Amino acid sequence: MSFSHKSLLGLKDLTAEEILYLLEESKAFRKILERDVKRVPTLRWLAVVNLFFEASTRTRISFELAEKRLSADVVNFSASTSSVKKGETLRDTVNNILAMKIDMIVIRHSSVGASHYVERATGVPVINAGDGTNEHPTQALLDLYTIRERFDHFNGLKVTILGDIRHSRVARSNICGLKKLGAKVVLCAPKTLLPPYPEALGVEYTTDIDEALSGANVVNVLRLQLERQKGGYIPSLREYRMFWGLTAERTKLLDPDHIIMHPGPINRGVEIDSDVADSVDNVILEQVTNGVAVRMAVLYILAGRIKE
Ligand code: CP
């Protein structure tokens, strides 16, 4: 199996075989993370810049660690302390950084399509670390890896995505990947937080949380994006939790063989209760660990394409 893409901009662009290839390759890197010495010299020739124009804890640290574990040179950029503050354009910022002989770009940006734009403007391989409400492909890959690690397959699994789907790039990438791999995807949110045309996504959707959770093997709970709730999408946090929060009582509706996922950051007591977030069924921190391995695999495969 080969991977024909120069960049990873979204799971929309990948075939099921390519997604499975990335998941399979990630296994070897996951093993490296269990060793005493977690660093390999594989990418010591590579220089990567992590361009974060939006806040991040997990993705940013995970990419940096993945790059360092592969012995790449790493430069971190934060918009808040850069010349973007002085009015420099995205294109000028990126081209100035590339003039310092950088081989690959990881970018998170609030604008949909920012990673596509940077790839077109520079010709350099780009990894999308989240672009607005569009895609977050490495998050979806680590979610898929975590599901596969537990169930060993996707066919026929009921995966419920619960929460603020309207604003979620994680949901969009997960929907793409899960559909391609044969899972049954159910979206659940208040009507205002479902995507505008849910039927166009080719998945089931409901506003009824009991129906969505009933018999589900996986529930992926999404953060209520508090910073994007200015449009009056929900009456109050209290009511959101009452009707769409994942409580211990509601987890009884899930299939006995289930896992509870959350991409983070978590709003405890809003979309998920604290006791559920800390329960034995949750794999939230496993997702974070798997994220480093998956990002190592993506970096390794895309770097290999530079050398072709
Ligand atoms: N899951 C995720 O993207 O988290 P961060 O925003 O902290 O990177």
Instruction: Report residue 83's pLDDT band, with 50, 70 and 90 as the boundaries.
Output: confident
Q: Tens digit of pLDDT for each residue in 16-53?
A: 999 999 999 999 999 999 999 999 999 999 999 999 99
By mean pLDDT, which of 84-93, 113-122, 214-223, 271-280 is the weakest? Answer: 84-93
From atom 4 of ligand 1, which residue's Cα is the shortest distance away?
Answer: 58
Q: Which of 93, 186, 87, 174 shows the shortest CA–CA distance to 137?
A: 174
Q: What is the mean pLDDT of residues 47-69?
A: 97
* pLDDT at residue 81, as a whole number: 80
Mean pLDDT rounded to a whole number for the chain? 95
Instruction: Report residue 9's pLDDT band, with 50, 70 and 90 as the boundaries.
Output: very high
Asked if residue 229 has pLDDT above 70, the reply is no
126-131/104-109 β-pairing: parallel
Higher pLDDT, residue 35 or 82 = 35
Sheet holding 73-78, edge to edge: 73-78, 47-52, 104-109, 126-131
Q: Is the CB of 123 under 6 A from ligand 1?
A: no
Q: Is the CB of 264 under 6 A from ligand 1?
A: yes
Instruction: Report residue 277's pLDDT band, with 50, 70 and 90 as the boundaries.
Output: very high
Instruction: Report residue 235's pLDDT band, with 50, 70 and 90 as the boundaries.
Output: confident
Q: Tens digit of pLDDT for each residue in 197-228?
A: 999 999 999 999 999 999 999 999 999 987 76
- Residues 72, 12: Cα–Cα separation, whole Å: 28
* pLDDT at residue 2, as a whole number: 76
Domains of the chain in sequence order: 16-134+289-307 (3.40.50.1370), 137-287 (3.40.50.1370)
From atom 1 of ligand 1, which residue's Cα is the shortest distance away?
Answer: 263
Q: Tens digit of pLDDT for each residue in 160-208?
A: 999 999 999 999 999 999 999 999 999 999 999 999 999 999 999 999 9
Q: Is the CB of 265 under 6 A from ligand 1?
A: yes
Q: Is the CB of 2 under 6 A from ligand 1?
A: no
* pLDDT at residue 226, as a whole number: 74
By mean pLDDT, which of 62-66, 225-229, 261-265 is the weakest? Answer: 225-229
Mutate which of 59, 138, 143, 228 for ligand 1 pocket (most atoms within 8 A of beta carbon):
59
| pTM score, whole prediction | 0.96
Q: Is the CB of 110 under 6 A from ligand 1?
A: no
Distance 116 CA to ligand 1 centre (A): 20
* Percent of the chain's residues with pLDDT above 90: 90
Q: Is the CB of 59 under 6 A from ligand 1?
A: yes
Instruction: Report residue 87's pLDDT band, with 50, 70 and 90 as the boundaries.
Output: confident
Asked if residue 230 has pLDDT above 80, the reply is no
